[in-house]
Amino acid sequence: MSVNINADTTNGLVLTSDTTGEIKLQSAGADIATVDSSGITMASGKSIIGGGKVLQVVHNSSSGGSTSSTSFVDMGLSASITPSSTSSKVLVMANGIIRTAAVLRAGFSIVRGATNIQSATEMVITPSTLQNNSWYITQLDSPSTTSATTYKIQFSCKTGGTIYTNDAGSGVVGNINHIVLMEIAG
């Protein structure tokens, strides 16, 4: 025997039995969760925890590259995340170092799949033999999917010249550019 437990807006708590072998938790007749021999399954778009909680974190890093393109090109920095709900948001944060031989303007962009979701970040880079310039970009995205989703960083040199986001010749060893994806419960 099974039971549907419905918090009905007119009749209060309504219990209805059936023969599915499940317990369904409902509100106003809409499924919230199903309990059966395999555990608890949340209905599409529902979460067992409240909004704003961090559900998962993904990190990746790279040594970067260089560009003299005035159009955005891939930096070689990306990460993928599979949201657990279509209502989840993804907080994208990326940072690293950048250097140049002249005073230049660099642009940074966050791309989800093939869609540019943020490209307003621009900075002036000053040359230095002692230190590198830091860059940082962030965006809260609503991908509305439970499929694997890839975010990547693109960059451009807004004024003639070449910018570098790698460790070649900088004295820094290893991966110096980082991307962090955080799934936030919706």
The model's pLDDT over 53-87, given as tens digits with 9 standing for 90+, comes to 889 999 999 987 889 999 999 999 999 999 999 99
Note if the pTM is more than 0.85. no
Residue 170: predicted pLDDT: 52
Phi, psi (5° rounding) for residue 81?
Answer: -140, 145
d(C-alpha 152, C-alpha 81), whole Å: 12
Distance of CA 36 to the CA centre of its chain: 32
Report which of residues 22 and 167 the model is more confident about. Answer: 22
Specify the 3-state DSSP secondary structure of 55: strand
d(C-alpha 78, C-alpha 176), whole Å: 13
Residues 137 and 100 sit within 8 Å (Cβ to Cβ): no
Written out in words, the top-level CATH class of the domain with range 54-184 is mainly beta
Task: Name the residue ranges covered by the structural domains of the chain.
Answer: 2-42, 54-184
The model's pLDDT over 13-35, given as tens digits with 9 standing for 90+, comes to 666 676 777 777 777 778 788 87
The model's pLDDT over 124-152, given as tens digits with 9 standing for 90+, comes to 887 765 456 788 899 999 999 999 999 99
Cite the DSSP H helix spans in the chain: none
Residue 184: predicted pLDDT: 93
Residue 140: predicted pLDDT: 95
Residue 152: predicted pLDDT: 97
